[in-house]
Structure 1
């Protein structure tokens, strides 16, 4: 029955009072009994060791929503007014309206305030005999009441422990050391608030999820048994707080709920956001200041997660907040640990994408992500590569798409079948048709399913994803680097004429760098020395094209722009407090965006010495720190520097046995030592001296340059015909000039290209199919045919 006083809650205390000759019966709920000041209530509960929450839950189990008393409950308490011998023969129905008032009268006669201890004993003893269905209802009602008591927690937080029990959190591979350390801090008496600190993507949130899994399974120290981990959503906490005090009220309610629950641990991802959150309006407190008292008293347990930069910027500055957290450093995992992790979690991605991932592909995800993606951290970048490669393979498979469509069609057909079969007027003809359609669909599924289940993620899928992310051609990723290196020297010699020795030295140095025989990963570096027009810059361009299929990865810095001391800021960015601090360095930013590139420092003798000194760290360690504090890796770059040092020096070689190349090299080294420090020269892999070009080399270069005219002429439907004498004539005219190979371009431009242009303009109305270039002695003739 319902409480006689409030008419809202079930009655648990039954009192009979006499007023004159009339007897008044009252049933009171626990709340009303306490408000009326009945001392027996608290005394009985204390004597029996029963809390008010337990009594309330028990009442909900044995009293209906309308307050009616459960008949089985009356039998358990012995208040049904019947003897035990008559129970077997007595047949009663739930809809009998005569028994209900008798049962209630019996309650008042036998269940007054004086008999409450026996009433409570029977009440809590009776719960064991309830059916499974009643137990489920009881658990459901208990959960609903818990949710009501945790209104803020359920609104602004996510119960990670519940998600772990429901199987919605992937299992965690590794990180046992960090998880153990967090559990150790959580078990402390005071200052038991761990803060996970690490770079983005190293697995801080995953560690919190791992702790939720351990709490769900009970695999935690006894002090943490029964604890629940909640993920706090600061955005939801702030959303909708328009007026002063609303945010503080939410925070206070949240903290009170955590304190009252006694078994809640809050996980705050990006914990640095606590500082400043909610403190925008004048006079309002931010979230961190509201949390501090509860943290210091041990009433609130928090696991935080943030990056090193944000921890230094926000939390370290607030010493009162910092001392309440115990930092736990989360380092980037090694390649081996990442491979183990991918092997453990790949099944989740296989199930999601309906593809198969071999152990070799999982290993390649770790290796390729570490090699080609330098601005992110393991294991995040490796997992992302695996996920997107699986998506690439799944989208590229027609069988998977077809299978999913057939399964959806089959589900619709089965629903239609069940609706037809359940109809009172069954249309047997239509039912037979739908059964036939279902059989056909099932047959198609059986045919397509083997193909869909055999979709494998390949190295091509990984290469395509990396190409999208970094711009490195997929065929260069697929092609083995050793194979590419084996033909590098021949390809360089074919395009760089007259500098075979230089091509050989460069190819060997790059092979040595790529094989990585040393633990120190540093870029291959060269200084190309020689007179102008001998192919120094051209070799760098050809090298970029051979390594990356394009000259786009070539980063060229003209050192004549870096003649001042302050030019260092152009390379790594301006220091704090200077104009342009927010702008990235010209070199560091481009290398961050394109880690696989060839860097050309042209004419290094023109740069200020301080600019060259900053390259020392790049050449030695393969990395540099920019003005923003970010480490920029140069490990996968090739650094080339050009200089004309010694080319204008007229000194002669000393001794009789020295060749011209030895003399040229001595001149170059002496010229370099005049403006480069010894420690700089010692860090360079090879100093390559370019020889002056011979007339024969000029002729070969002229042939290469003239061949470039074929493409533009073919677009105009003109065929180019060149006699062999032309190459020698161009070489003879260009040889001996001050600008070396550049004179060849000048001769071709003035003696051939100008004439072709003039003839085409003069005869624009006529149709020609051929451009013929001939030579007679030093004279070069151009004719249209």
Structure 2
């Protein structure tokens, strides 16, 4: 029965029999076992009592004070265990097994006593603040401290500059490894070699290289490895700690030699070096060896086993150049998991995050995290970015509980105040106010009830798809809200919204709207930009204005528009400004004007104004963007353009449009006129750009010249802009129709000039005059200014004042 008990536990039970005999008991009770534990004086038990600040003599006196002395029994007599004592021994064995301890000790007997509710020993210990959970934690903490102290004696260098991954795996400090069976098996296979048994994991940041090594440590603890690995320990080496504080020559080499000596002497150790490329040059000084050269002989002869991990970029830059170091490692490629594999990984780790954040993840939240992080965070890799998304979403929802608690308290306090006032109103027979307060109470209670909607039946807050979308949006600035009914309705009305600001270009707006809807509904190719268009037409017809309004409609602000004036890129050497200068040239470190802007602002509208003025190499550069939705900059980094809208404007064919006149004059001639002019313009476009460039454009859109009706609408739009500016000063401007006609005539608008002269005319005759009026008021407030026409002059009425501004 006592085979699994260590010597100290057996002695404690022997002393328990002695104490029972001494106190005249015919059975060994719980209090006798406690006295036996105290008499034996095991170090762990003594340390626990010290931490609880309880003296063992006090416990002994209390137990002896409760016993009534009877006829003394011979100490050599065999005494049976009471039922409570049998339970204590059973619980002690269970505790030792659950803690993965090889034998049952006195500390386990102490926990066993605390687990038997109602026994005398448990009652006495409870009076001094002992409880089973705290004592269990203290036992584990003391065992860990002793193990670390023992390890530090055995492995002073590795204990100082490394971490025991197998010990951490035994404590369940790592998330479970889902999948990656092939990579772990490959590591085991390479470790089985006689020489050069050093695997190196290669993969992009975030694909799970370190997690694979942690998974191997978990396998070792669980016994799911071959016999030769069963007793191995994986030590993770921290190179920065080794280098830190080495002020004098030889200190670094001394530390590294000490680590090598411990690794050679302890054959059960496997060293893991994350970011192993940092070995190159680490600790080197003039005339001395770096860490890589110190380790090479031991690695080559198989005296130590080393697992490395690094990225492909650093591997090519550092490891491959050192051929002697390269041949000592066997490379294992770690590719990012597929979305399906990432789903399994998230399902496997979500319990940890649910427990930490005290939330619950809905299944659609995990799927959304994978899909949207893949789509909108292209510069990071699965599963790392998806795990980070659900982690932050859990934190966001957890913080909501704090805000909800504050709001609940505020509402409850307000309800109490309303009820109090209602009672006063009833006592004063003010029934009208009482009815009002009753309605207010009902409203507040409804608000109180609505605040619990986000929780499920158990009261646990849930992480939903919407929470994931909010995190993605905060990271990227991209409004990735799901296609809800209100957004779908907004997309359906896209033409109407754009036509409020852009007049006379119905064909263009209809074509653009169709392309945008295809992209937002996921019908178009997701690997290409949202849309790519060339706007053709005369100056001043609204090409740039359409770009501004699209930027505001799609991305929430006109500031998200990235504009390039292509007249600045007419020379061949200027093309490099878009993607960055090659290595060795001035400005290489600054990056490209296009690539850097898109990397920082991935969800934006890119406008290449007057594209025909750019050097032909610019069009060749854009081919990659238009077809694959990405571009390689001078650093070799891939910049993602899949969430951008690419617009190009050009004046090619402007003369043809103007010569063709306003389309739509003459019944039934609009379609024929449009097709005829469009064919001529496309022919001229093909003479300017290559076929492969034109074929990658979604649509070539020809803008019409503005007619008199459209120009009147432009006047209204420009005056609305002036009113919006004046409204910030609390001022409203009212312009009569005759005054608008006067402004239109004054502008002298022609088809070749477009609507731009109208802006100058309004600025000169309206805005300048309003400025003079405000100055002449000497600070007195003006709320309304009316503009009318008298003869050939504009008149401005500001309150009771009438001011005539002569024509300029």
TM-score range, shorter chain: 0.7 to 0.9
TM-score (norm 1): 0.73
1:495 counterpart = 2:508:
no
Q: What TM-score comes out, normalization by structure 2 length? A: 0.71
After superposition, residues 187-226 of structure 1 pair within 5 angstroms as 187-226=192-231
Deviation at 1:722, TM superposition (A): 2.5
Indicate conservation of the 8 Å contact 1:530/1:668, yes or no: no
Give the Å deviation of 1:146.
5.2
For residues 31-89 of structure 1, what are the alpha-carbon distances to aligned partners after superposition, in whole Å with 9 as ceiling and x for unaligned? xxxxxxxxxxxxxxxxxxxxxxxxxxxxxx9xxxxxxxxxxxxxxxxxxxxxxxxxxx9
Query: Does 2:400 align with 1:387?
Result: no
Matched, 1:598 2:613: no
Distance in 2 separating the partners of 1:779 and 1:270: 78
Task: Specify whether residues 248 and 400 from structure 1 end up closer, same or farther in structure 2 by C-alpha distance, changes over 3 A only.
Answer: farther
Kindly report which structure 2 residues correspond to 1:525-604, keeping only aligned pairs within 5 A, or say none.
525-604=532-611
Q: Secondary structure at the match of 1:356?
A: strand
Partner Cα distance (2:295, 2:170) in 1: 29
Q: Which residue of 1 is the match for residue 185 of structure 2?
A: 180
Residues 623-678 of structure 1: CA deviation (Å, up to 9, x unaligned): 1110001001111111000000111358977xx98833234323422332232111
For 2:477, the equivalent position in structure 1 comes to 471
Secondary structure at the counterpart of residue 309 of structure 2? strand
Question: Which residue number corresponds to residue 631 of structure 2?
Answer: 624
Aligned to 2:784: 770
Distance in structure 2 (CA, Å) of the matches to 1:476 and 1:726: 47
What residue is the counterpart of 2:758 in the other structure? 744
CA contact (8 A) 1:276 1:288 kept: yes
Q: 1:479 to 1:189 in 2, by over 3 A?
A: farther
Pick closer, same or farther for the CA change 1:131–1:500 going to 2, 3 Å: closer
2-side partners of 1:768 and 1:143: how far apart? 80
Rounded to whole Å, the distance in 2 between the matches of 1:664 and 1:156 is: 76
Report whether the alignment pairs 1:319 with 2:323.
yes
* 2:710 match: 697
C-alpha distance in 1, partners of 2:295/2:757? 76
Which residue number corresponds to residue 292 of structure 2? 288
- On the 8 A contact 1:729/1:777 being kept in 2, the answer is no
- Is there any run of 5+ residues in structure 2 with no aligned partner, and where? 1-41, 43-73, 77-101, 110-138, 407-454, 661-667, 800-808
Kept in 1, the 8 Å contact 2:456–2:462? The answer is no
Q: Aligned-pair distance for 1:783?
A: 2.5
Quick one: distance in 2 between partners of 1:200 and 1:224? 28
In the superposition, relative to structure 1, how do residues 520 and 452 fare at CA in structure 2: closer, same or farther (>3 Å)? closer
Distance 1:729 1:262, change over 3 A: same
Q: How does 1:434-449 map to 2 (within 5 A)?
A: none
CA distance in 1, matches of 2:705, 2:690: 26
Aligned residue pairs total 616
Alignment of 1:220-619 (within 5 A): 220-279=225-284, 281-398=285-402, 453-473=459-479, 482-517=488-523, 521-523=527-529, 524-619=531-626
How far the C-alpha of 1:738 sits from its partner, in A, is 3.8
In the alignment, is the contact (CA less than 8 A) between 1:459 and 1:478 conserved in 2? Answer: no
Question: What is the alpha-carbon distance in structure 2 between the residues aligned to residue 366 and residue 131 of structure 1?
Answer: 47
> In structure 2, how many angstroms separate the alpha carbons of the residues matched to 1:531 and 1:776?
35
| CA contact 1:202–1:331 (8 Å) conserved in 2 | yes
Q: Which range moved further: 496-505 or 333-342?
A: 333-342
For the structure 1 residues 143 and 754, does the alpha-carbon distance in structure 2 shift closer, same or farther, using more than 3 Å as the test? Answer: closer
Residue by residue over 1:258-306, the C-alpha shift from the partner in whole angstroms, topping out at 9 and shown as x without a partner, is: 1111111111100000111111x22221111111111111111111111
Question: Is 2:693 the counterpart of 1:680?
Answer: yes
Distance (Å, rounded) in 2 between the aligned partners of 1:617 and 1:765: 58
CA distance in 1, matches of 2:401, 2:463: 11
Secondary structure at 1:552 match in 2: helix
Paired residue for 1:782, among 767, 771, 796? Answer: 796
Partner of residue 758 from structure 1, selected from 772, 778, 798:
772
Displacement, 1:178?
1.7
Is the 2:169–2:218 contact (alpha carbons within 8 Å) kept by the matching residues of 1?
Answer: yes
How far apart are residue 483 of structure 1 and its match? 4.9
Change (3 A) 1:598 1:765: closer
Question: Which stretch shows the higher mean deviation, 473-482 or 296-305?
Answer: 473-482
Cα 1:234/1:492, change in 2 over 3 Å: same
The answer to whether 1:724 aligns with 2:737 is yes
Higher deviation after alignment, 241-250 or 696-705: 241-250
Q: How does 1:104-123 map to 2 (within 5 A)?
A: none
CA contact (8 A) 1:354 1:453 kept: no
Q: Is the 8 A contact 1:563 1:606 kept in 2?
A: yes
What displacement does 1:518 show?
A: 5.7
1:480 Cα deviation from its structure 2 partner: 7.9
Residue 652 of structure 2 is matched in structure 1 by 645
Query: What residue in structure 2 maps to residue 430 of structure 1?
Result: none
Task: Give the secondary structure class of the aligned counterpart of 2:584.
Answer: coil
Q: Is the 8 A contact 1:752 1:782 kept in 2?
A: no
Q: Distance in 2 between matches of 1:650 and 1:347?
A: 65
Gaps spanning 5+ residues in structure 1: where? Answer: 1-60, 62-88, 92-128, 403-448
Q: Give the superposition deviation at 1:710.
A: 2.0
Query: What residue in structure 1 maps to residue 52 of structure 2?
Result: none
The superposition leaves residues 690-727 of structure 1 with CA deviations (integer Å, 9 ceiling, x where unpaired) of 00011100111111111122233333333322323444
With over 3 angstroms needed to count, the CA separation of the structure-2 counterparts of 1:724 and 1:651, relative to structure 1, is closer
State the partner residue of 1:420.
none
8 Å contact from structure 2 (residues 360, 463) kept in 1: yes
The question of whether the paired residues in 2 share the 8 Å contact of 1:476 and 1:548 is answered with no
Q: CA deviation at 1:478?
A: 7.5
8 Å contact from structure 2 (residues 292, 325) kept in 1: yes
Considering only CA atoms, is the larger Rg found in Structure 1 or Structure 2? Answer: 1
Cα RMSD for the two superposed structures:
3.3
Compared CA separation, residues 146 and 542, structure 1 to 2 (3 A): closer
**C-alpha distance in structure 1 between counterparts of 2:488 and 2:504, whole Å:** 26
Q: Which moved more, 1:707-716 or 1:502-511?
A: 707-716
Deviates more, 1:475-484 or 1:257-266: 475-484
CA contact (8 A) 1:460 1:474 kept: no
SS in 1 for 2:373: helix
Shift, 1:219, TM fit: 0.5
Aligned-partner Cα distance in 1 for 2:224–2:310: 26
Q: 1:360 to 1:545 in 2, by over 3 A?
A: same
- Conservation of the 8 A alpha-carbon contact between 1:569 and 1:585: yes
